[in-house]
Structure 1
Amino acid sequence: MGLLPYMAVFVKVVETGSFSAAAEQLGTTASSVSRQVASLEQALAVKLLVRTTRRLKLSAAGSDAYARCCEMVESARSVLDLAERVNDAPQGMVRLSAPRAFGKELIAPHIEEFLHRYPGVDIQLKLTDRQADLIGDDLDLMIRITDTPPAGLAARPLIRVSHILCATAAYLEKRGCPHHPRDLAQHSCLYLGEVPGDNCWKFSHLQTQEQVNVTVRGRYVTNHSKARLEGVLSHLGIGCLPWFVAREALNAQQIVEVLPQWDYQTSYYGMSWLLYHPNRFLPPKCRVLIDFLAEKIAGNDVNRRAGRR
């Protein structure tokens, strides 16, 4: 039984990929984490991790041990939730991760109402476009945009996330309106610029399914969707935006959709899923937040183009 804390540390090391990253999340030092893993290896008389100059790798025995230790960590989490499950009212902290634009536009505006409705529940909302991990990032819930939710997790669909291209009428009057994706090469375009290839826009025609890739250029590149919207509103060019970011400006006729007969496809595209541990004793604090987000997001028509695929 005295090895249980070492097992939890071992899981954290594997999930984070290094002693230092695990130590940062656990609030301790890398040397302490290393000693605890070494103590576990000594007690089990097996080598769990193969240490190289660049990274840690699980040994064959380590892979088996990691799977069992993950089960132990999940069981421990269920025990910690026991007190809440016997309570009538949901209570405690819920740690939720979401992509930045999705979280800011579709989750953050509803937090006040949720906290008022459930005074015993607190929320930590982590906004990141990095692919989060429930165990490694110590999360209760996370939202991921993918058409194939990961195996081994419970998944509740919310909305399909689609993107549009848009510009102001003034920009299009000055530069002309593109009629085919290839015409975008002659325009100033606002794109993400986070990774190489972000300026290669991919399209599929909604009727003919014709596939087209276009390399675009522009003088303003930013990885924040609100900043791109502001750039579009300033007549800087044609921008790519999630529909839920652009919809208010579209409804106010501040901007117009460009190439509406084409589907603009990115990695930030597909069904959004609320993911959580497949625990039959799901804590009430998580259950009420799951139901609340489904009510506010999946229950409202925030995505006009959801039915176009």
Structure 2
Amino acid sequence: MRTNQYMGLLPYMAVFVKVVETGSFSAAAEQLGTTASSISRQVACLEQALSVKLLERTTRRLKLSAAGTDAYARCCEMVQSAKLVLELAERINEAPQGMVKISAPRAFGMRLIAPHIEEFLNRYPEVDVQLRLTDRPVDLIGDDLDLMVRITDTPPEGLAARPLIRVSHIICATAAYLEKRGYPQHPNDLALHSCLYLGEIPGDNCWKFRHLHTQERVNVTVRGRYVTNHSRARLEGVLSSLGIGCLPWFVAREALEAKQIVEVLPQWDYTTSYYGMSWILYHPNRFLPPKCRVLIDFLAEKIADSDLNRRARAYPPAQEGVKRLNG
């Protein structure tokens, strides 16, 4: 018998088991939500396909034939296997388990995801996490990922997206540096300062600004003696008064709160490719694995509840006594 033939008989085999269990066509029909005549036809089709008599029909009851007894035992195994598959699916769908592979930009992952991983692993002991930190473009399929975080105001088509927080940047320096070199009043003044920038690709030293109120846009080419593509290293350089640095808000926040640094040009937005809404991206699948669903919900909750995403301009720029830039 060819595969497509016995595959078509599987529903009939399940009906046959139900008839034997209930003892009649009518009782089986009631449990399966159909008619006794339909049940009888399905059993007859199974008998015809197998070329054996499975049930001996009398006016009062049904009785298994010798061949029917053997067939019933095998069909029961099939039905039991189907039940086990359903139970397995229920366990998988109910209990998060397995490895979740998630990618995120380096600074974002270090500051906003990594600090919460211990709590997540304690909350979900059957789930493991592989966190990949990279600023290069990644692909869910090509890079064998379950989830990825991307910062963009336009999520890619074809993927499901869950918003996290809006990522903004600030320009900052120490009061000591500004006392010595002067306080910029306009983005163009930065050309006369020592600035710390990424230097990862050509154009990283071209800083782009938009005024918060007038919407004026300004591009300025900056220079400096210290260039690094790691935000924490730039923060350390700023703290050492090496110059004026560009930093993600969530990286600079603690130093601002401690008054170790001050914000420069607070009326201007510094915009980069690492600027905009952050999203968790994943394949649009209504059967999203629970291990992915719980990590998405967990990170969305933790990051949204954190005040790292609320850029309060309560931290004053340099003091009035800091001299203006000369020349």
Common topology (TM > 0.5)? yes
Task: Report the counterpart of residue 67 of structure 2 in structure 1.
Answer: none
Deviation at 1:131, TM superposition (A): 1.1
Alignment of 1:241 onto 2:243: no
Alignment of 1:175 onto 2:168: no
Instruction: Give CA deviations for 1:55-113 in whole Å, capped at 9, x if unaligned.
Output: xxxxxxxxxxxxxxxxxxxxxxxx9xx75764532100000000000000000000000
Distance in structure 1 (CA, Å) of the matches to 2:306 and 2:110: 17
Task: Report the counterpart of residue 149 of structure 2 in structure 1.
Answer: 143
Question: 2:167 touches 2:248 (CA, 8 Å); kept in 1?
Answer: yes
Residue 106 of structure 1 aligns to a residue whose secondary structure is helix
Distance in structure 2 (CA, Å) of the matches to 1:172 and 1:304: 26
Residue 101 of structure 2 aligns to a residue whose secondary structure is strand
Question: 2:92 touches 2:290 (CA, 8 Å); kept in 1?
Answer: no
Alignment of 1:191 onto 2:204: no
Question: 1:159 touches 1:306 (CA, 8 Å); kept in 2?
Answer: no
Distance in structure 1 (CA, Å) of the matches to 2:220 and 2:291: 46
Change (3 A) 1:189 1:287: same
Moved more, 85-94 or 220-229: 85-94
Distance in structure 2 (CA, Å) of the matches to 1:203 and 1:185: 13
Distance in structure 2 (CA, Å) of the matches to 1:129 and 1:85: 36
Task: Report the counterpart of residue 266 of structure 1 in structure 2.
Answer: 272
Question: 2:303 touches 2:309 (CA, 8 Å); kept in 1?
Answer: no
Task: Report the counterpart of residue 226 of structure 1 in structure 2.
Answer: 232
Task: Report the counterpart of residue 293 of structure 1 in structure 2.
Answer: 299
Task: Report the counterpart of residue 158 of structure 1 in structure 2.
Answer: 164
Residue 302 of structure 1 aligns to a residue whose secondary structure is helix
Instruction: Give CA deviations for 1:2-49 in whole Å, capped at 9, x if unaligned.
Output: xxxxxxxxxxxxxxxxxxxxxxxxxxxxxxxxxxxxxxxxxxxxxxxx
Change (3 A) 1:84 1:137: farther
Distance in structure 2 (CA, Å) of the matches to 1:140 and 1:134: 6
Deviation at 1:303, TM superposition (A): 2.2
Task: Report the counterpart of residue 205 of structure 1 in structure 2.
Answer: 211
Question: 1:84 touches 1:284 (CA, 8 Å); kept in 2?
Answer: no
Deviation at 1:304, TM superposition (A): 2.8
Distance in structure 2 (CA, Å) of the matches to 1:291 and 1:303: 17
Distance in structure 2 (CA, Å) of the matches to 1:88 and 1:152: 27
- Structure 1: any 5+ residue segments left out of the alignment? 1-78
Q: Give the fraction of aligned pairs with identical amino acids, expressed as a percent.
A: 85
Between the two proteins, the alignment pairs up a number of residues equal to: 227
Q: Superposed, which structure 2 residues align to 1:43-62 within 5 Å?
A: none
Task: Report the counterpart of residue 259 of structure 2 in structure 1.
Answer: 253
Task: Give 1:100's match in structure 2, choosing from 89, 102, 106.
Answer: 106
- Structure 2: any 5+ residue segments left out of the alignment? 1-84, 314-327
